[in-house]
Amino acid sequence: MIPFTYERADDVAGTVDFLRDHPGAKLLAGGTNLVDQMKLGIANPPALVDISRLPLDQIGENPDGSLRLGATARNADTAAHPLVRRRYPMLARALLSGASPQLRNLATNAGNLLQRTRCVYFQDVTTPCNKRTPGSGCSAIGGYTRYHAVLGAPDTDAQATCVATHPSDLAVALTALDARVVVQGPDGERDFDVRALYRLPGEHPDRDTVLEPHDVIVAIDVPAPTPGSTSTYRKVRDRASYAFALVSVGAEISLNDGTIAEARVAFGGVAHKPWRAERAEAVLRGQQPSRELFAEAADAELAAARPLDGNEFKIPLVRRTLTAVLEELTTR
């Protein structure tokens, strides 16, 4: 057994101080990802600070009409909340597709956003992995790539440091919804677009996000939906029971006299981070809905795709999934 220090947090400021004073310490809330990593030997934190009892589990409306999701609110409670179900069906569906009821009853919103990849090589400590040990190599390149990235990769395999995908369904929906993450650090509270939370591997494949070791996510703010908009989330996986996405699509569409006035689209299962499909959105805006238009939008986003040997099927799968989602939203 590897020993570690356990601390129960009394407040957020104290948690930030603990993280600053204990290098390598990790936050513990639901523990559905971190505990697995510790069992596998991926994570060996010298200290854990338990934030599960902090008052960060509330869900409610902000004065500006946006929705605030508490960082430690459980995924199950978030998906079942009346405001989420009524105003953000994409968000509710993403959460419900993400895990079994047992896990949703334990997993937290912030923990969901910060979960690490389920790449088989990352989880196998006997194999080289740049995300686990920077500079050791990426075993997925030339290996088993079914679940790996097709977007956001460098031009050549020689430049690639990691081709793993981000596993969160919630993060995909929040990316499409222009959500903002509220973070507290030593210098106080700040907030930023959830898209800015995640990063591509680059020279630091071991860093999934831009957060500093002493930062604590305290809430997530979701803007009020555009009047008249509709949204949904669709996840394609290898089995009907709970599994990580091969491809997923979250989309919100607003129609005006039969024309697409606004479109927000994000992909999951295809990149190192939740992928906002801005090129696809640009193709859709101001156009009459049609299968041809939807295919054109998908192709515009996928033009920069660089599939690996073994996951080329993701390209047509994204195209079909996006078309199905957009057809559903524009024919209601």
**46 CB contacts (<8 Å, ≥6 apart)?**
4, 5, 22, 23, 24, 25
| Residue 332 confidence (pLDDT) | 75
Residue 165 predicted with pLDDT over 70: yes
288 three-state secondary structure: coil
Half-sphere exposure for 142 (CA within 13 Å, toward CB): 10
In whole angstroms, give the CA distance from residue 69 to residue 109. Answer: 8
233 DSSP β-pair partners: 250
| Residue recorded with tokens 């400021």 | 13
Inter-residue long-range contacts of 54-62, CB under 8 Å, 24+ positions, other chains counted: 54/9, 54/11, 54/12, 54/15, 56/12, 56/218, 56/219, 57/108, 59/83, 59/84, 62/221
pLDDT digit string (tens) for 107-134?
999 999 999 999 999 999 999 999 999 9
State the pTM of this model.
0.96
> In the chain, helix, strand, coil percent, each to 5?
30, 20, 50
| Residue 158 confidence (pLDDT) | 62
| Residue 108 confidence (pLDDT) | 98
Report residue 241's pLDDT band, with 50, 70 and 90 as the boundaries.
Answer: confident
Q: What angle do CA 290, 88, 242 make, to 5 degrees?
A: 85
Mean pLDDT in residue range 7-29: 97
